[in-house]
Amino acid sequence: MGKRALVLLSGGMDSTTCLAIARSEGVSCWSLSLDYGQHHRVELEMAAYQARVQGVERHLEVFVDLAKIGGSALTAALEVPKLGPTQGIPITYVPGRNVIFLSIALAWAEVLEVQDLYIGANQVDFSGYPDCRDSFLRAFEQMANLATRAGTQGHPFRIQAPLLNWSKAEIIHKGLALGVDYRYTHTCYDPPRPAVSCGLCPSCRLRLKGFEAIGGQDPLEYLT
């Protein structure tokens, strides 16, 4: 049995690049998307498309109703800020999102007998989310290996975060080299029209800055 991995795939640039990296290493991949009631639902379609064109074994979309819980501009009726990244943790932070995403991935990985969980977390050009930091990922890994049959019976899980210390420009550079088509990724938190990005939210700004840094052209359509 060759190397197998489960890739958390949101449909954004980072997770799509993360999948391409795992595939480029000859790893058989399964991919998982989390439908958490996000307003920007097109990202789920992008994830399913990327899963297909990148040749994953199986793609699964699991629903969990975080909108019921509230507390984020991404699921509740709160306004997404039209500013660059701010100090501190922004209103677009979804409480527990990566914990829940990784937990569901962990459950499926145990069923699939997959030990490597790939996540496109990034702590350089990041948005101030605590659940994208290395210290969190290591703590999750430790917890996962106490929580599960596999982890307690000598088949430990490993959280792989190949993009963790890369700049956005480095991520795009690597992805383009691997043939990733960034036209079919979604980044905007607050799309003004279907398939059009606002260009102003913190997430769009980070993306645009990344393309600018490599002297490249973002293939997405922007309002501004």
Note the residues at the interface with a second copy (CB under 8 A): 60, 62-66, 68-71, 89, 93-100, 103-104, 106-108, 110-111, 130-131, 133, 135-136, 139-140, 142-144, 146-149, 151-153
Closest alpha carbon to 114 in 7, 9, 25: 7
Q: How far apart are CA 118 and CA 102, in angstroms?
A: 10
**Least separation in angstroms between CB 74 and a second copy:** 13
CB of 167 within 8 A of CB of 91? no
Residue among 28 and 142 whose Cβ is closer to a second copy: 142
**Least separation in angstroms between CB 182 and a second copy:** 28
CB of 179 within 8 A of CB of 50? no
Location of structure tokens 């929580």: 147
**Least separation in angstroms between CB 183 and a second copy:** 29
Residue among 93 and 189 whose Cβ is closer to a second copy: 93
Residue among 156 and 216 whose Cβ is closer to a second copy: 156
- Side-by-side strand order, sheet with 4-8: 28-35, 4-8, 116-118, 158-160
Residue among 8 and 21 whose Cβ is closer to a second copy: 8
Q: How far apart are CA 147 and CA 36, in angstroms?
A: 23
Q: How far apart are CA 190 and CA 205, in angstroms?
A: 12
**Least separation in angstroms between CB 193 and a second copy:** 30
**Least separation in angstroms between CB 63 and a second copy:** 6
Residue among 60 and 213 whose Cβ is closer to a second copy: 60
